[in-house]
C-alpha cells in the first residue's frame, strides 16, 4: 500500500489494524558515466514498493536526497548536511507515530545514509517512540552478490548497474560501460588506507570517474535475481518485525 495513493479514510482503516511502515531512502548523486544520478532512490523505492505490494504494509514517499557530500566534485550531485538529514528523518518518523506507527523499516540504498539512519533509530528507540531499523539491500544478500560478480564495487559497480538495467534499463548508458570500468578502480585501492587509517574523504580521491568494480559484468538478468532475492529478504524482515511485541523492542531498563 502506497501512502501517497490513498485517501485519509482508507489510511485510517490501515492504522486501525497495522503499525508498520516502510520508508525508502536513497540519494541523488553521481554514479559514473553510465548510470543516472537517481540510481539509489530508484532502487530503494522499487524495493519498498515491491515489499509493500507483497505484504500489504504501508510504503511512504521516498526520501530522494541523502548524505552525499563525498560525491560533490561530480556535476549534479545533491546532498543535505548530516544533522539536517537526521533531524528530517526523525521528524518524518515522529509524524508516522502520530498516526499510530510504532515500527519502521528504513529501506535504504545509499551507503552514506547508514550511520545517520542508525542514529535516528537510536534516538527513537531511547525515547520508546518507535522501533526504526536501517535495511541496506545488498547487505541482505551478500552471498548472491559475490556469486554473480567477480569484481564488485561499492558504488556504481556491477550490482547497482545490474539493478538499474532490470528496473529502468532505458536509463543505463550501455555504450559507456567500458568507459566506466576503464576509468574507475577496484576498491579498496592500495593507497586508500595507510597503517590502519583511511586516507581519503571523497570518492574522487580514489576514482577519477566516481565508480568502482567491473560494470561490464552486469546484466538485467542478474539484476532481476538481485531484486527478487532482496525483496524476499525485506518481506521476511517486515513480517518478523510486525510479529514482535512492542514491549520487547523498546530500550531495556537499567540493571
Coil, helix or strand at residue 28: strand
Question: pTM for the full model?
Answer: 0.96
Tens of pLDDT along the chain (255 residues) come to: 999 999 999 999 999 999 999 999 999 999 999 999 999 999 999 999 999 999 999 999 999 999 999 999 999 999 999 999 999 999 999 999 999 999 999 999 999 999 999 999 999 999 999 999 999 999 999 999 999 998 888 899 999 999 999 999 999 999 999 999 888 887 666 678 888 898 889 999 989 999 999 999 999 999 999 999 999 999 999 999 999 999 999 999 999
Question: Which residues fall within 8 angstroms of residue 32, CB to CB, at 6 or more apart?
Answer: 156, 176, 180, 184, 209, 210, 211, 215
Q: Work out the angle at residue 6's Cα, subtended by the Cα atoms of residues 3 and 9, and round it to the nearest 5 degrees.
A: 115
Residue for grid cell 544520478: 37
Burial zone of 207 (CB within 10 Å; 0-12 exposed, 13-18 middle, 19+ buried): buried
Contact 132, 94 (CB under 8 A): no
CATH code, 3-249: 3.40.50.10310
* Local structure of residue 22 (DSSP, 8 states): E
Phi, psi at 130, each rounded to 5°: -165, 160
What are the extents of the domains in the chain?
3-249
pLDDT (0 to 100) of residue 108: 98
> What is the structure's pLDDT at 66?
98
Q: Taking Cα atoms as reference points, which of 75, 22, 85, 10 lies closest to residue 48?
A: 22
Q: Which three cell numbers stand for residue 127?
A: 525515547
Amino acid at each position: 500500500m502506497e501512502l501517497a495513493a490513498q485517501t485519509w479514510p482508507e489510511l485510517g482503516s490501515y492504522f486501525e489494524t497495522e503499525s508498520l511502515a516502510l520508508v525508502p531512502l536513497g540519494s541523488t548523486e553521481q554514479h559514473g558515466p553510465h548510470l543516472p544520478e537517481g540510481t539509489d532512490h530508484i532502487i530503494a523505492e522499487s524495493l519498498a514498493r515491491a515489499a509493500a505490494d507483497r505484504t500489504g504494509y504501508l510504503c511512504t514517499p521516498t526520501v530522494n536526497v541523502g548524505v552525499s557530500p563525498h560525491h560533490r566534485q561530480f556535476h549534479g550531485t545533491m546532498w543535505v548536511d548530516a544533522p539536517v538529514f537526521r533531524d528530517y528523518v526523525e521528524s518524518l518518523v515522529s509524524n508516522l507515530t502520530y498516526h499510530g506507527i510504532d515500527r519502521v523499516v528504513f529501506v535504504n540504498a545509499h551507503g552514506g545514509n547508514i550511520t545517520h539512519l542508525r542514529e535516528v533509530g537510536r534516538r527513537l528507540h531511547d525515547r520508546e517512540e518507535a522501533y526504526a531499523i536501517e535495511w541496506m539491500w545488498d547487505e541482505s544478500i551478500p552471498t548472491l552478490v559475490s556469486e554473480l560478480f567477480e569484481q564488485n564495487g561499492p558504488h556504481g559497480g556491477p550490482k547497482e548497474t545490474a539493478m538499474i538495467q532490470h528496473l529502468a534499463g532505458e536509463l543505463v548508458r550501455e555504450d559507456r560501460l567500458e568507459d566506466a570500468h576503464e576509468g574507475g578502480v577496484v576498491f579498496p585501492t592500495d593507497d586508500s588506507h595507510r597503517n590502519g587509517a583511511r586516507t581519503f574523504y571523497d570518492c574522487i580521491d580514489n576514482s577519477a570517474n566516481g565508480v568502482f568494480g567491473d560494470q561490464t559484468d552486469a546484466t538485467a538478468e542478474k539484476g532481476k535475481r538481485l531484486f527478487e532475492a532482496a525483496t524476499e529478504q525485506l518481506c521476511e524482515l517486515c513480517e518478523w518485525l510486525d510479529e514482535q511485541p512492542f514491549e520487547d523492542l523498546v530500550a531495556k531498563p537499567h540493571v
